[in-house]
Amino acid sequence: NAGVTQTPKFQVLKTGQSMTLQCAQDMNHEYMSWYRQDPGMGLRLIHYSVGAGITDQGEVPNGYNVSRSTTEDFPLRLLSAAPSQTSVYFCASSYSGQGITEAFFGQGTRLTVV
């Protein structure tokens, strides 16, 4: 059982380049989300999805797009990378019913934009 898998683990981009961060989960979770983590800022929600075909913006969505064509996959696209997007990105998934709804995080993608 792999849990939440993120690729790549590290990436360096030039300003203006685009790329897609991949996220896949094998726990059949409905809820998936993307966070960015910057020093002293905690985890800030970029986009989230409550099921296939449904996405919504979080706290810091500008410069990012998402789609959710399947339950398993939730890719994050950077349209035109900027140095301000240098960060560590975490994908998470969780069960959306009653009871314990812990978020399972991927290993993270460390992105540097130069």
Partner 1 sequence: GQQVMQIPQYQHVQEGEDFTTYCNSSTTLSNIQWYKQRPGGHPVFLIQLVKSGEVKKQKRLTFQFGEAKKNSSLHITATQTTDVGTYFCAGKNSGGSNYKLTFGKGTLLTVNP
Q: Which residues bind partner 1 (CB under 8 A)?
A: 31, 33, 35, 40-45, 48, 50, 58-59, 90, 92, 94, 96, 100-108
Contacts of 67 (CB under 8 A, 6+ apart): 55, 75, 77
Asked if 107 and 6 touch (Cβ cutoff 8 Å), the reply is: yes
The residue (of 14 and 40) whose beta carbon lies closer to partner 1 is 40
The residue (of 18 and 56) whose beta carbon lies closer to partner 1 is 56
In angstroms, give the least distance from the CB of 14 to partner 1: 25
DSSP state of 58: -
